Structure 1
Amino acid sequence: MQILKNTFVITGGLGGAGKAIASSIVDQGGYVVILDLAEQKAGEQSTTGISATKAVYKQTDITNKDSVKGAMEVAAQAFEKRLVGLVHCAGVSMSQPFPTHLGDTIDRVRKMSEINWMGTYIVSALFADAVNERYEPEKMKNGEFWTTKEERGVIINFSSIAGAQPASRILGYSPGKAAVSAFSVALADFLGPSGIRVNTVSPSVINSAMMGARLPYFIADLTKSASFPARPIEPEEISGAVKFLIENSMMNGHDLKIDGGWRVFTDRSVDREDPRLLAPSLE
């Protein structure tokens, strides 16, 4: 899929990774529709910093079907260019120290799953509908499916290295990201006849505001157990991986790990604290 003169939806596009991806697409001649939770006016001001002519903003709640559907309608009409791509970066890590009673974490984990897992389903589904409705409106109306040999779209969902290697420190976040990866493989198979590819990227620790006070803890863990380079990922390194997945038409149903060889594991050495208590804040 070429980037030049095509439109891409970027969720979480005001964050570090999302903004780097949006800027990269614009730099290559593409157009972007940024979806995020910021108020419309504030989001528009921030989006202008990406491009005054090739980027637009739409305030969107990714857990709300109507909100996402409205955003996809905007994206389909924006710039009078083909809507071909979705890069779904939006997500949360709702951290808290683990209590003795795991039942006390249920409400928070449920909310995080609603955003990270169901949000991915909603955004991916409605983007695919927007692409398919452009090519086959009558068949969509009649509930029919079809087969095409034409590449029509590409979806890239953000999973996490934690989704591939769940550990005690990330009890709530990891399973949700594992669900994102599994869903994306299934969706790639489902949408194949529609000419829409689906892949995931699984970063380790991104150097972004989302990490907050946890960043020093994870830097120490990377230093100890990453292969090379033993450091957080810069947002620009994520955008390079996304560009590859967009442009290489043979990449489908694939999870691209961006982790410097970091492996999440539980250290139960006798001279260490309980691993559930080590990080400054946990899911």
Structure 2
Amino acid sequence: MISSLFLSQLLNGVQLGVLLFLLSSGLTLIFGIMNFINLAHGSLYMVGAFVGAASFNASGSFTFAIAAAIISSGLVGLLLEHLVARPLYRYDHLYQVLATFGLMMFFNELAIVTFGNRPYYAAIPESLGGAISVFGAPYPVYRILIIAVGVLVALGAWFLIQKTRFGMLVRAGASNASMVSVLGANVDLLKKSLFMLGAGLAGLAGALAGPILSVQSGMGEPVLILALVVIVVGGIGSIRGALVAAMVIAIIDTLGRAYLPSLLGKLMLPSAANAVGPALASMLIYVLMALVLAFRPNGLISAARR
């Protein structure tokens, strides 16, 4: 029989994996098709969190808050694509990293000026409070909602990529963007659409994460690092790879943080185990990435097989 604690932690891992998938799916397409490294993608996640929290506090409508977060992040992404990304497409990745790193710093300072340097309060909607029984273990309704949203987005992404003309162009662009342009497709419009889609998904992730995480300046950097690990492990340009890698990485991190301290406590002092356990759990993620790069350099699921 699976213990209630293990099941709860497993569901926490799935919920974190959903947030990582929402953030990394857009990022992997932007990197895979546009060959553009966007370190400001975590800032779009932060924009979604702040706009979602502020919209909910002002209106009391969670649906409105989610819509506002997606739209605002998408529009900011479109603006970034036009003003920053487009002029840098033809340049080396170093220029892209420096430019988007500067944008990341700008957005962090803008958040401090606008909302202050303290965590901004984001409440869980009253209708989504409480818990339900999942295989005998109580689990928060709101976290179940996050998982359900992730499933719907994953199905929607699969349909968009596999069953529509837009998805056909995306798949072709991931393999050979120059050939797609030569064949008459509007690559500029495709890039704008992808940037907006990726930014909107990042905003959705931020809005959903706001009520359970701390909404504050700089909140996008830690999750951006995990998202970059996800796209490397899953395969750059692969939506399915991003989903698989996000779930694997999130579950390893969550279960590692939950159980490694108690396991290490049998070998060392409890205070040392509590410090080493979470660090070791984080280390396991990068060990996994190193193994994937060593044995499957194109990722678990390459763009050609997504």
- When normalised by structure 1's length, the TM-score is 0.27
- Tell me: higher relative CO, structure 1 or 2? Use CA pairs within 8 A at least 6 residues apart: 2
Question: Whose helix fraction is larger, Structure 1's or Structure 2's?
Answer: 2
Question: Whose strand fraction is larger, Structure 1's or Structure 2's?
Answer: 1
